[in-house]
């Protein structure tokens, strides 16, 4: 009999331990650590859509606790009671606000905005709750007017795009681009061939440049010799002679222009010119007459 009771007792104890482990395991999986001391505070909302047990409670983005319980306040219909378990070291003051936040991926959570003034709140106090605007409603109210204003522009853009794509000129342009690309490819091949030839002729070109450099050095030396010879020429006496000749020519020119000088009278006196002309004519007549009648002027006597 004792043995039978011992077995039943062991079985019952095992079931109780399993249930306790299951309870604590479920809370642990939810993120609830019952072995960690915490302070509990209450807050009431009208709508807690998306808020679940173990949802985080944050201050400035840092997690300071979690939601321990979400239930309907049957004494005040239309309100939802939320119990928060906060870190025991966190001390809240009067005026602290608990507002609901929500994200598309992680659901709703509570954001605490601590107050720096006022008396310290006792554990279990009720905080002021502020409900956040529904995220989808906010997106609908803010984004849909902008989307509606953009849709006609998108429709016009798509129409213009279809018109552009259907334009035969675009097809012709693409074909021309294909031809240009082929020409560029051919030109690139020709350029590569030319560069190969240049690379092959480069040593010869460099040798020619070397020879040209030698010729330039020779020309430079010859110019240096010519400059030295020019410096050695008697340029000053030559220039003095040129200056004297120029002066004499100028004096001769002045005499020709002066009507009182001999040269001036010779070149500028009409009477003298006429006399010389008549003398020249008489001499010419005399020569003609001598040719016709030489005996008149030349007598030959024979002994």
11-58 residue pLDDT tens: 777 778 877 777 666 655 555 555 556 789 999 998 888 888 888 899
First to last CA, the chain: 218
103, 177: one domain: no
Contacts of 104 (CB under 8 A, 6+ apart): 135
217, 257: one domain: no
224, 244: one domain: no
Instruction: Summarize pLDDT for 207-245 with one digit per residue, the tens.
Output: 777 777 777 878 888 888 777 777 777 767 777 788 888
Contacts of 265 (CB under 8 A, 6+ apart): 259, 272
280, 290: one domain: yes
Residue 168 lies in a domain: yes
Residue 19 lies in a domain: no
Q: What is the mean pLDDT of the chain?
A: 78
Half-sphere exposure of 187 (CA within 13 A, CB side): 6
> Is 47 within 8 Å of 132 (Cβ atoms)?
no
164, 225: one domain: yes
Please identify, among 218, 233, 248, the residue that sits at the C-terminal boundary of a domain: 233
225, 244: one domain: no
Q: Given pLDDT bands bounded at 50, 70 and 90, which one contains residue 2? A: very low
Q: What is the DSSP string of 4-53?
A: HHHHHHHHHHHHHHHHHHHHHHHHHHTT--TTS-EEEEEEEES--TT--T
Which H or E run includes 121?
A: none
156, 214: one domain: yes
Residue 25 lies in a domain: no
Residue 113 lies in a domain: yes
- Torsion sign (Cα): 84, 85, 87, 91: positive
> Is 266 within 8 Å of 252 (Cβ atoms)?
no
Give me the domain span that covers residue 89. Answer: 36-138
Residue 20 lies in a domain: no
Distance between CA 272 and CA 182 in Å, rounded?
Answer: 94
Please identify, among 138, 165, 189, the residue that sits at the C-terminal boundary of a domain: 138
Which pTM value belongs to this model?
0.39
Which H or E run includes 113?
A: strand 107-113
Nearest to 264 by CA among 272, 273, 255: 255
153, 133: one domain: no
């Amino acid at each position: 009999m004792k043995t039978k009771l011992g077995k039943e007792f062991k079985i019952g104890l095992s079931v109780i331990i399993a249930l306790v482990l299951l309870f604590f395991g479920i809370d642990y999986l939810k993120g609830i650590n019952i072995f960690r001391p915490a302070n509990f505070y209450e807050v009431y909302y009208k709508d807690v859509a998306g808020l679940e047990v173990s949802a985080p409670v944050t201050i400035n983005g840092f997690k300071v606790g979690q939601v321990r319980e979400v239930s309907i306040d049957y004494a005040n219909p239309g309100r939802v009671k939320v119990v928060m378990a906060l870190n025991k070291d966190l001390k809240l003051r009067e005026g602290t606000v608990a507002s609901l936040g929500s994200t598309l991926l992680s659901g709703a959570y509570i954001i605490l905005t601590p107050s720096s003034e006022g008396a310290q709140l006792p554990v279990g106090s009720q905080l002021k709750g502020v409900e956040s605007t529904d995220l989808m409603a906010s997106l609908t109210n803010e984004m849909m007017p902008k989307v509606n204003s953009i849709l006609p522009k998108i429709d016009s853009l798509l129409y213009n795009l279809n018109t552009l794509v259907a334009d035969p000129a675009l097809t012709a342009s693409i074909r021309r681009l294909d031809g240009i690309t082929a020409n560029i490819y051919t030109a690139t091949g020709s350029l590569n061939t030319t560069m190969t030839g240049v690379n092959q002729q480069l040593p010869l070109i460099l040798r020619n440049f070397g020879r040209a450099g030698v010729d330039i050095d020779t020309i430079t030396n010859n110019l240096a010799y010519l400059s030295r010879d020019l410096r050695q020429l008697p340029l000053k006496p030559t220039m003095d002679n040129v200056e004297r000749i120029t002066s004499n020519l100028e004096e001769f020119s002045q005499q020709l222009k002066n009507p009182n000088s001999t040269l001036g009278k010779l070149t500028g006196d009409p009477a003298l010119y006429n006399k010389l002309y008549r003398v020249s004519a008489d001499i010419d007549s005399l020569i003609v007459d001598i040719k016709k009648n030489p005996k008149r002027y030349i007598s030959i006597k024979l002994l």
